[in-house]
Amino acid sequence: MAAKVISPSSRNRDFSEKLQGYKSIPGLDHILYIEQAQPFVILFERIPGTHRWKSTDYDNGEQLLEMGVVRFRVGDLYVQV
């Protein structure tokens, strides 16, 4: 899993070249993009057996995010923000 906090100054680069770089890493199946200022998370998941990815947006702190055996509430990422 890779996790990246998105800031306004790096947003364009994060969603272009950095995201493509993460997606090209063999064995990396989950990429988590975390908005800095508000509870908003994007989970990118590799579709098993392919080079394709799906994304899921989470925009509520109470939503449960699951990546394999890892589970947590989106709000847990923002406890002291």
Half-sphere exposure of 60 (CA within 13 A, CB side): 3
pTM: 0.90
What's the burial of 78, exposed, middle or buried (CB within 10 Å: 0-12/13-18/19+)?
middle
**Domains of the chain with CATH codes:** 2-78 (3.90.1570.10)
Number of residues assigned to the chain: 81
Encoded amino acid at 9, one letter: S
Tens digit of pLDDT for each residue in 37-79? 889 999 999 999 898 999 999 999 999 999 989 999 999 999 8
pLDDT of residue 7: 87
Nearest alpha carbon to residue 55 among 13, 12, 22, 81: 22
Is the pLDDT higher at 53 or at 36? 53
